[in-house]
Amino acid sequence: MNASIWTLVAQRILLGLLLIFLSSALIFAGTQLLPGDVAQAILGQSATPEALANLRAELGLNVPVYQRYVSWLVGLLHGDMGTSLTNGQDIATAIGRRLANTLFLAASAAIISVPLAIILGLVSVLYRNRWPDKLISAVTLASISVPEFMLSYILVFYFAVQLGWAPSVAMISPSMSVLERFQAITLPVIVLVMVVLAHMMRMTRAALLNVMQSAYIETAELNGLGRFKVIWRYAMPNAVAPIVNVVMLNMAYLVVGVVVVEVVFVYPGMGQYLVDHVAKRDVPVVQDCGIIFAAVYITLNMLADIFSILANPRLRHPR
């Protein structure tokens, strides 16, 4: 690989770090605009002005905004996320447990959705413009057209309430076995798979169809190779870059975009943790959750860009 590739990779990494920094400033500014007052939320509506003033001073809410931002940013760089204003718990410890649960849910959905999307994309190309292709496209488009919360409630009504096949609340605990955890998250995993499947399947289909128009594919077909072998051996390796790109973007969604699903199924993940503390006006928790979500999303997008650069034959073998 030539030096220009590594220059592009370094630029993407620096851009990612810059975006994370800008996201931290935006998140901090956004939390300052949240309505309500955490001191009022803790002491209640009957609190006296003197008690509110003393608690604000104790919590550091009287410190200028820019000083609080710098202190928060320095703490993050040293691995210190601070303590919750509402319960005094260490935020990093609480987030560690919640983030592990969110990653478990996202990984479970990814294990199912990624291979299934690639297989369905291959089948769609293999039977292009025939009934399997049309059926797959119709079903996936229908699933993505339904909002997540509605899809979640439909599955809860039929599979949990009517049939009793799965629990309506996806509660997990460290004492549960792996099988019990998978049983508990059955419905949220189905929702997430249905949401991300269409994007990945359609990108796989589009990327393969684009490669199938190449001259070497036509040559392979004229040599008598079967259509499936041509697609799998010659088209798929050259279509992998856009497929991996869209897979990475959907992996970012599975981690960052699970808030609605976690709230509907009362799943003890990052999304539920964030929503609970937004309601309590617990600003440090909201800030830390926000920057973690932003960092995960930006990092996965950055990795997708880097893979696209490394997989580009024009950059790897310049004339």
pLDDT tens digits, 150-181? 888 888 888 888 888 888 888 887 788 888 88
* Domain containing residue 38: 3-316
Other Cβ atoms less than 10 A from the Cβ of 233: the count is 12
Rounded to whole angstroms, the Cα distance separating 195 from 313 reads 32
Other Cβ atoms less than 10 A from the Cβ of 206: the count is 17
125: Cα within 13 Å, side-chain hemisphere: 27
Query: Domain of 197: which CATH number?
Result: 1.10.3720.10
Q: Give pLDDT, residue 93.
A: 86
* Degrees, nearest 5: CA angle 71-73-74: 65
Q: Total domain count for the chain?
A: 1
Other Cβ atoms less than 10 A from the Cβ of 22: the count is 12
pLDDT tens digits, 227-241? 777 777 767 777 777
Specify the DSSP class assigned to residue 227.
Answer: H
Specify the DSSP class assigned to residue 148.
Answer: H
Low-confidence ranges of the chain (pLDDT < 50): none
Q: Give pLDDT, residue 15.
A: 92
Rounded to whole angstroms, the Cα distance separating 86 from 41 reads 9
SS3 (DSSP) at 83: strand
Rounded to whole angstroms, the Cα distance separating 158 from 106 reads 23
